[in-house]
Amino acid sequence: MVSGDSEERNYLLLFNPKVTAVATETEPGEEGSVSLPGVRVMIDRPVWAEVSYLDAEGSPKTARFERFAARVALHEIEQMNGVFFLQKVSRLKRDMALKRARKLSG
């Protein structure tokens, strides 16, 4: 997990993360997955998210992630919980993304 802006990287290990709060305000952003290289879809996500987790020593922590870091945290936590990013879009957009994935894979 990377938090902060792109100039300075702050890598965090989050064990057993749980989303505890999210903003009501959302913004669209492009998302993809290593399992579908070259496929991206626009997904609305909250502009911030608060996450509780255990650190590497097993101590409980809470962090607030904003903008891109919030998007990454939410995407990854959902994926760990069995929600694939294409489940967040309409059937039409999902079908188009899967068609593109098949085309790119040859």
Task: Point out the residues that are catalytic.
Answer: 76
- The rounded distance, in Å, linking the Cα atoms of 14 and 7 is 21
Closest C-alpha among 99, 105, 100, 85 to residue 30: 85
The secondary structure element, H or E, covering residue 80 is: helix 68-80
